[in-house]
Structure 1
Amino acid sequence: MTWGVQVRAATVGWGDFVLQVGGLTLDANAISGRLPVLGRSGSGKSTLMYLLTFLKRPREGWVRWNFPDGSQAVWGPKGLDASSTLSLTDIRRRCFGFAYQSSTLTPYLRVRENLRYPLEQRGGYSDAEMDRKVHAAMDRVLLRDKNGARIEETTPEEFLERYPNQLSGGQFQRVALAQAMIHDPYVLFADEPTGNLDSETRREVMSLVDRWLTVGDRMVIWVTHHQSDALDPRVNHWLMVANNRCHLRLKGGGKLSETHSEQG
């Protein structure tokens, strides 16, 4: 495996609900950097994300992330294993980005301040570097046509001074995704980031992710209720969560090789 995540004999949940992930190996290159997660409401898709992002400890088993820079993190019932070379803070500030249907944008902060926040948390950037990254992100967020000309009349500087409640639904989600990606994480986790949007706006929002994936070693894992996401020609695997289990599927409905997934 070049880089990616492995899960072995993990169970996670609370109360009477327990999700089982018997065995799973996700190589970032093998899955083309894109992995949708599908399943019915209440099946455990978000629970799986909590496990993969180290937000919920497994009752048993473990999760191991190997990152492109050679660092690794192992997550088990007691938290981070001693073999991990990163702290939880490092993982969440440097390696992971998070985008949700109910966004993490802070309502009393302007767009500029919301975008700067992950950079300030990660550290290592000067004010000038943060300003450059914020303006670059904002330029990507403002819609353009197929020839690259900006569609929206708003300039990046004007847009940066807005508050979240002054944005349209599509603008809000594009800014939320920009916030999740601005610190250059290896993995973007998105939980129904476009669930409330119409199909055209949804394509506009996800185009930000497409552009983000073209730079460096990156992967996006996103929960979706759109079956069309699994049919995207750029997607060759997807995760199906059903009956308290997680299954890795191949494009076309084929069975997986044992090197990719063995479900207990």
Structure 2
Amino acid sequence: MSGSPVIRARSLNKVYGAQGAEVHALRDVSVDITGSTLTAIMGPSGSGKSTLMHLLAGLDRPTSGTVLYDDLELSSLSDRQLTSLRRNLIGFVFQAFNLVPTLTVLENVLLPFELGGTKPSGEHREWILERAAELGLMPLLERRPHQLSGGQQQRVAIARALAIRPRVIFADEPTGNLDSRTGVEVLAMLESATREQDQAVVLVTHDPAAAAWADRVLFISDGRIVHDVGRTDASTLSEMVLELGGAR
């Protein structure tokens, strides 16, 4: 792994429910997310992997513990400040694509700027179009989401995530709605973001074949990180997931 920490999480706990009916989704989790690295988070259903992603991305607040971007502690920010941080530093790619159906491909890609009340500079817009070209989107810029295949829609979502030049990209099951070939293409694009743009990518997945693309794989079980391994083949990852599932 390379790069310095982009996110530092310390002693994260997340508890849902009232006393007597509490669910401990995360238990004392500490982890660094480094730049230029693709990190996968795996674990059985209900293990806490999505909760961890939501806390790291500032989409939810921990019951206790801290999440820091450089020296900026997320729990100290107001909702408005958190929204601004997510808009300027974080890119999101979701399984459901989350494209606006009434907007064109180009308008969807530029949506983060529209929501922020800003416009990319001429140089930045040219950079965005270069990324769109790499993703094969140039012939599709005037189409709307319903005119695209699932793989094309996911490429638009990736272009939108890249558009702001975020420090970190969170991808939640980004290949779940795609065929295997398109899924491989999407994973290759996310991996290239760590190589070409020096970004951190955090991939939440249940798919060992997807996690095998990662430089690092975190396994969560019962709200705790139980394994932290380097690049590992899909069959070994599959065995590790099955062991965790069987132990629950």
The reply to whether TM is greater than 0.5 is yes
* Structure 2 residue 212 is matched with structure 1 residue 213: no
In structure 1, the partner of 2:239 is none
Query: Please, which runs of 5 or more residues in structure 2 have no aligned partner?
Result: 237-248
Question: What does 1:44-59 align with in structure 2 at a 5 Å threshold?
Answer: 44-59=48-63
Alignment partners' CA distance in 2, 1:216 and 1:134:
12
The match for 1:73 is: 72
- Where does residue 38 of structure 1 map in the other structure? 42
| 1:1-264 matched pairs, under 5 angstroms | 2-15=4-17, 16-28=22-34, 33-66=37-70, 72-76=71-75, 79-80=76-77, 87-121=81-115, 125-126=119-120, 128-129=122-123, 131-142=125-136, 156=138, 158-232=139-213, 235=215, 237-251=216-230
- Identity within the alignment, %: 35
3-state SS of 2:110 partner:
helix
Deviating more after overlay: 185-194 vs 204-213: 204-213
Q: Distance in 2 between matches of 1:212 and 1:168?
A: 23
SS at structure 2 position matched to 1:175: helix
Aligned partner of residue 200 in structure 1, secondary structure? helix
RMSD: 2.6
What TM-score comes out, normalization by structure 1 length? 0.75
The one-letter amino acid paired with 1:135 is: L
Aligned-pair distance for 1:249? 1.1
Count of aligned pairs: 225
One-letter amino acid of the structure 2 residue matched with residue 20 of structure 1: L
Contact between 1:112 and 1:134, CA under 8 Å: does it hold in 2? Answer: no
Where does the alignment leave 5 or more consecutive residues of structure 1 unmatched?
Answer: 67-71, 143-154, 254-264
- In the TM superposition, residue 59 of structure 1 has moved relative to its aligned partner by 0.9
- CA separation in 2, counterparts of 1:134 and 1:166? 22
Q: Deviations over 1:235-260 (max 9, x none)?
A: 2x21112112234512369xxxxxxx
- AA aligned to 1:250 is V
**Distance verdict in 2 for CA 1:56–1:27, change over 3 Å:** closer
Deviates more, 1:90-99 or 1:187-196: 90-99
Task: Measure the CA separation in 1 of the matches of 2:164 and 2:179.
Answer: 28
Q: Distance in 2 between matches of 1:127 and 1:27?
A: 29
Give how far 1:37 is off.
0.6
Contact 1:52–1:63 (CA under 8 A) maintained in structure 2? yes
Separation in structure 1 between the aligned mates of residue 46 and residue 29 of structure 2, nearest angstrom = 22
The structure that is helix-richer by fraction is 2
The amino acid of 2:48's aligned partner reads G
